[in-house]
A and B are shown apart, each in its own frame.
Chain A
Amino acid sequence: METILVLAHTEADGSLAQPAREAIAAAQTLGPFHVGLIGNHTQQAANQIAGCGAEKFFAVTGAEFAQPRYATDAAAAEAIARTAAATIILVPHTSRWGRVAAGVAARLGGRADTHVTGIAAGPTITRWYYRQRMEAQMTRTQRPWLIALDPGCVAPLQGAAGTATILPVNVTATSRTQVCGVKAPATSQQTIRPDAKLLFVAGAGWTKKQPDGQTHVAEAAEIILGFLNASQASLGSSKSLVDLSGEGQAVLPFMSHLNQIGQTGSTPRHRKGLATCCHGEEPHTVGWRFIVERRAINLDPNCGWARGKADVLYVADAFAVMRKVNELLAAKP
């Protein structure tokens, strides 16, 4: 009989974010489970999920555990896992858990599997190898087994509020690291929106010569930003486009490697995806592996990025189409 533990951090406001509630929902399908909470304040989060079916709520609470940093997060997770005598540990694969998951498993003498996209009884997990190019189903005998579940793979726990009794776990942890804050682009320049319904993918074609023989990078930037602001879409980019800055070519000023999707970028999850001016075959198209509905605008009807990968391919000039799209979006109430 496995002892299943879900570990989660509380947010700055004391609540549990969606990825944590997804991990709890995944645990519900596996059998009886405990929850371990880590944060500055944990009671509010425990109450938020009081009715989730957890047998026990453990918590490491304190100001030093509010900061997302390795030393304190790993110590807290280790302490809860040992207290609960957990054999299966589920965590959401957020940046915070991604920093410590494998280290915690090593401390516990177990193993970790990260970027898990599916979990079933056994447990058997599904994850991708070679940058989302092949999918594996696997299980393992080592315990404890820490499983980091990618956000967006499971419907989150809803409406389980109540009053939970917390079992405090005492931890002493020190660190030479202080978290000083978060650096984010100005709101008007923020182009990455993980919760957006639509991913807009811009390819290198936006910076290439147009029918008049000239490049129109400034206009491309205006059109793309205009669309992002009007639609609240998230912006992804092909590697070739973000690499242009390193090659001294004219680039879109708001584009960075953080926007890059695909082989050496991210593989975000959005319901819809619109790719424009993207070219390339299979290795480049993994960036929208997890996009459900896909459309593309491209001048090449045989483009490998779209054919067989997109639901609809519009063979057209993206400048002309997106200019009109912006007009229509601006005209809508």
Chain B
Amino acid sequence: MSTAFQIVVCASIVPDPLQTLEPVTTPAGPSLKNELMLPAVLDPWASHALFEAAHLAQQHPGSKVWLVSLAPKAKLQQVMMTIAQKAAFELIALDGPASGFTEAADVAAALADTIQAIPGLDRSRLLLFGGWESASRGAGATMQILGEKLGITEQFQGVDQITIAADGSFEVLERIEGGKHQLSRCAAPPAVLGWATGNLPEPPNNPQIGMTNMRTIMPALQKAKPAKLTAEGVTFASVALPQQQRQTRIVKDMSPDDIARELVAWIQQ
């Protein structure tokens, strides 16, 4: 049996995690202050999904990777300058907000329409990859809804590993409570895999891959269709940064032995 896969990775962009974030209220709902000015990165867990997809495609000749991304296309273009050098893929871009305050259901609907329009997509070989949660909304909802919209009922979340068997079936390790993994065996695609960290380090930049990718990335960005996302039905009463500031007692002149005694007493309280 052929084990060539058609892997569609869904990934958006988020503000660089090191940036200071501040919520603001707009007529359209909550947003981030100066959101379009903040440096952006590909969503971390979705990045792992992309790297795992590229690795899987390399291992299984005949496989192909698409990256479907809904984000402001000017910001997406900036992020692609880096990501394009790390993994081979064909970009399909949608132009729209990448805010965490958008509705997962609306994002999933836009992604589903786009994926269904990919020419020649073979559902029987389809692996739908993404991050198990975004670093913005952090809900773990989009991939599940997308799977439902595409009629895919084999879904896995918090995935750290996929192992393909010769007959095309595959084993999946999913994170569960207590630092454990659930091991499942799925007979065949299609399937949705929401990735956690996986096992692969971030690939080094490869200018050759970057040049190949950029031939399709720029036209894809130019063709990016606008995606209309609404927040109908949702009312945010408040969005605020946690204000709690602790009065830290700084202990400078205590010996390690005395600190240890104090800590043990505290631990055993």
* Chain A nearest Cβ from B178, distance in angstroms: 6
Give the residues from 268 to 284 in chain A that come closer than 8 angstroms, CB to CB, to chain B: 272, 274, 282-283
Which residue in chain B gives the minimum CB-CB distance to A142? B233
Give the residues from 213 to 231 in chain A that come closer than 8 angstroms, CB to CB, to chain B: 231
B81 within 8 A of A: no
Query: Is the Cβ of A106 less than 8 Å from the Cβ of B20?
Result: no
Query: Is the Cβ of B263 less than 8 Å from the Cβ of A321?
Result: yes
- Take A115-B139, A321-B256 as given contacts and tell me if A129 and B17 are in contact as well, using a CB distance cutoff of 8 Å: no
Contact partner of B158 among A95, A102, A134, CB < 8 A? A95
- Take A176-B188, A179-B184, A295-B266 as given contacts and tell me if A106 and B148 are in contact as well, using a CB distance cutoff of 8 Å: yes
Which residue in chain A gives the minimum CB-CB distance to B142? A102
A191 within 8 A of B: yes
- Take A136-B30, A295-B263 as given contacts and tell me if A114 and B252 are in contact as well, using a CB distance cutoff of 8 Å: no
- Take A113-B139, A138-B235 as given contacts and tell me if A94 and B266 are in contact as well, using a CB distance cutoff of 8 Å: no
Contact residues in A for B136 (Cβ distance below 8 Å):
129-130
A63 within 8 A of B: no
Give the residues from 116 to 170 in chain A that come closer than 8 angstroms, CB to CB, to chain B: 124, 128-142
Give the residues from 222 to 281 in chain A that come closer than 8 angstroms, CB to CB, to chain B: 231, 246-247, 256-260, 263-264, 272, 274
Q: CA–CA, A315 to B30, complex, Å?
A: 40
Q: CA–CA, A68 to B148, complex, Å?
A: 18
Query: Is the Cβ of B183 less than 8 Å from the Cβ of A289?
Result: no
One of A23-31, A49-57, A306-314 contacting the partner? A306-314
| Number of A positions contacting B (CB below 8 A) | 97
Q: CA–CA, A102 to B107, complex, Å?
A: 13
A209 within 8 A of B: no
Contact residues in B for A194 (Cβ distance below 8 Å):
177-178
- Take A71-B154, A185-B179 as given contacts and tell me if A111 and B264 are in contact as well, using a CB distance cutoff of 8 Å: no
Contact residues in B for A130 (Cβ distance below 8 Å):
14-15, 21, 32, 100, 135-136, 138
Interface centre among A111, A128, A132 (most CB of B within 10 A): A111
- Interface of chain A, helix or strand or loop or mixed? mixed
A1 within 8 A of B: no
Give the residues from 36 to 75 in chain A that come closer than 8 angstroms, CB to CB, to chain B: 68-71, 74
Q: CA–CA, A14 to B178, complex, Å?
A: 20
B254 within 8 A of A: yes
* Chain B nearest Cβ from A95, distance in angstroms: 4
A112 within 8 A of B: yes
Q: CA–CA, A323 to B23, complex, Å?
A: 44
B114 within 8 A of A: no
Q: CA–CA, A23 to B160, complex, Å?
A: 28
Contact residues in B for A190 (Cβ distance below 8 Å):
178-179
Query: Is the Cβ of A182 less than 8 Å from the Cβ of B180?
Result: yes
| Number of B positions contacting A (CB below 8 A) | 88
Contact residues in A for B12 (Cβ distance below 8 Å):
none
One of A2-10, A80-88, A324-332 contacting the partner? A324-332
Contact residues in B for A192 (Cβ distance below 8 Å):
178-179
Contact partner of B236 among A138, A175, A309, A328, CB < 8 A? A138
Query: Is the Cβ of B145 less than 8 Å from the Cβ of A314?
Result: no
Query: Is the Cβ of A98 less than 8 Å from the Cβ of B140?
Result: yes
- Take A95-B175, A183-B180 as given contacts and tell me if A102 and B154 are in contact as well, using a CB distance cutoff of 8 Å: no
Query: Is the Cβ of B186 less than 8 Å from the Cβ of A177?
Result: yes
B241 within 8 A of A: yes
Q: CA–CA, A184 to B262, complex, Å?
A: 34
Contact residues in B for A176 (Cβ distance below 8 Å):
154, 186-188
Contact residues in A for B157 (Cβ distance below 8 Å):
95, 98-99
Q: What are the 4 tightest A-B residue pairs by CB atom distance, in nearest-first order?
A: A192-B179, A102-B141, A324-B260, A246-B201
Q: Which residues of A contact B (CB under 8 A)?
A: 68-71, 74, 94-96, 98-103, 105-107, 111-115, 124, 128-142, 175-185, 190-194, 198, 231, 246-247, 256-260, 263-264, 272, 274, 282-283, 289, 293-295, 297, 301, 306-317, 320-325, 327-329, 332
* A–B Cβ pairs within 8 angstroms, 11 of them: A133-B21, A138-B236, A140-B233, A184-B179, A263-B44, A308-B248, A309-B246, A311-B247, A324-B261, A327-B260, A328-B261
